[in-house]
């Protein structure tokens, strides 16, 4: 029996699960593919990722995509300055991809459409089929985070032109997010904290939190994976996409303000910054004693397993951090800033250590490195926590529930 059709529109190719939003969209896609015949429409913003289209096709029914270079992205972002539009939208919108989506909707009747991130909803709002046609579909969107708030946070950390650009994006994106909430049957955010942020600006009756999960079989201390050959007896790790500004800022802050204090007590300590596309500011940290910058790694579990402690020194953080969940799943103690711990129900001191500032983080690391039993206990408790609270299947079953329930009795407004 043929599965019901579902259209999955993503602002980035949802494969492989190697960075923040793609981890979330990949697991949504994989879960939904068990129940629906999925067609994916997505932008590919890194030409090197075209090689992932074929593996993605093996997971789904059809894939529509367009490739756009970083330079093209920048040009489209700049073009938005001539309009009253956020630069996010033209970056990820394609007329060619719109035609593919509309042609698909002409020949298929998906029971639901799921849009990942705000920019993907443009393909619904600008569809030639019109809202009356689309109103018969179940429309779901996953904003993940309140991006307008993220851009506002960025603006507070910059000056000059960047500050103005980020303030502009925050100002223009917020009403667009509110339009999405009004029009779609259900909007998801990664945590109740994000929902509360959106609630400060308008109604959120059709908004709910859908927390991130973690692949508990893959990220497991018992899983089979290569082991890292190293001589350091003490290793700290910070993982993530190292071209992402909050990760860049966190890496620099940790190396300059926190790691020297740790090195005074534990001179043999090594700080490993593990993740793809390290920015020049991150690469420069290699010059500091005891600092490693790996770039892309074939298997992050290798580096997590070799670490004594996972540190997450983020000054700006939105939603639930996958790096935190992955470290916890690998049975590693986590020391994080309050922002990096947002959205978690983990008990501070038992399942995670939250440090309010650099001095607290340095002290917590030094104390934990001197107490092997506490390291182990925190790691074990962290693993139990994610097993209890962050199973993907448990969270994503909500999508099936909403789709199977049929159209929600809500008034849709554009």
For the domain 235-389, what is the CATH superfamily, name and number? Glycogen Phosphorylase B; (3.40.50.2000)
Read off φ and ψ for residue 386, nearest 5 degrees: -70, -30
Nearest to 72 by CA among 57, 85, 54, 87: 87
SS3 label, residue 342: coil
288 burial (CB, 10 Å; 0-12 / 13-18 / 19+) is middle
In this structure, whether the domain defined by 5-213+392-405 belongs to CATH 2.60.120.10 is answered with no
The predicted structure's pLDDT at residue 411: 39
Strand partners, 63: 40
Measured distance CA(37)–CA(5) in Å, rounded: 5
Residue 252 CA, chain-centre distance (Å), reads 21
Measured distance CA(136)–CA(112) in Å, rounded: 9
Q: Which residues of the chain have pLDDT under 50?
A: 408-414
Nearest to 56 by CA among 81, 35, 39: 39
Nearest to 332 by CA among 352, 315, 318, 361: 352
Measured distance CA(85)–CA(87) in Å, rounded: 6
Domain regions of the chain by residue span:
5-213+392-405, 235-389
Same fold: 5-213+392-405 with 235-389: yes
The predicted structure's pLDDT at residue 410: 40
């Amino acid at each position: 029996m043929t599965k019901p059709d579902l259209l999955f529109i993503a602002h980035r190719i949802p494969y492989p699960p190697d960075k923040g939003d793609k981890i979330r969209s990949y697991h949504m896609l994989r879960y939904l593919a068990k129940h629906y015949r999925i067609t994916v429409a997505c932008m590919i913003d890194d030409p090197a990722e075209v090689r992932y289209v074929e593996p993605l096709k093996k997971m789904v029914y059809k894939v529509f995509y367009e490739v756009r270079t970083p330079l093209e992205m920048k040009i489209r972002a700049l073009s938005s300055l001539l309009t009253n539009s956020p630069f996010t939208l033209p970056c990820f919108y394609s007329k060619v991809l719109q035609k593919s989506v509309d042609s698909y909707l002409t020949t298929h009747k998906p029971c639901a459409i799921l849009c990942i991130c705000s920019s993907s909803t443009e393909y619904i709002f600008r569809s030639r089929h019109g809202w009356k046609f689309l109103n018969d579909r179940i429309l779901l969107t996953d904003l993940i985070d309140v991006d307008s708030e993220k851009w506002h946070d960025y603006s507070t950390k910059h000056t000059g032109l960047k500050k103005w650009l980020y303030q502009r994006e925050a100002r223009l994106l917020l009403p667009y997010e509110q339009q999405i909430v009004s029009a779609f049957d259900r909007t998801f955010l990664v945590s109740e904290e994000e929902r509360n942020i959106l609630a400060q600006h308008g109604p959120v009756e059709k908004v709910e939190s859908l927390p991130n999960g973690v692949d508990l079989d893959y990220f497991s201390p018992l899983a089979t994976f290569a082991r890292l050959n190293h001589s350091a007896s003490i290793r700290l790790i910070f993982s993530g996409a190292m071209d992402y500004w909050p990760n860049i800022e966190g890496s620099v802050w940790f190396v300059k303000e926190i790691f020297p204090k740790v090195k005074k007590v534990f001179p043999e300590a090594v700080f490993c910054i593990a993740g793809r596309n390290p920015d020049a500011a991150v690469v420069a940290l290699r010059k500091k004693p005891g600092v490693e910058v790996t770039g892309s790694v074939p298997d992050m579990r290798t580096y997590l397993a070799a670490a004594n402690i996972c540190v997450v020194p983020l000054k700006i953080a939105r939603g639930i951090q996958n790096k935190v969940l992955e470290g916890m799943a690998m049975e590693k103690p986590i020391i994080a800033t309050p922002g990096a711990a947002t959205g978690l129900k983990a008990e501070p001191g038992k399942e995670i250590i939250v440090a309010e500032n650099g001095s607290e983080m340095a002290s917590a690391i030094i104390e934990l490195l001197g107490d092997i039993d506490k390291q182990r206990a925190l790691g074990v408790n962290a693993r139990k926590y994610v097993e209890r609270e962050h199973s993907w299947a448990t969270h994503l079953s909500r999508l099936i529930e909403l789709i199977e329930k049929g159209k929600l009795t809500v008034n849709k407004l554009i």
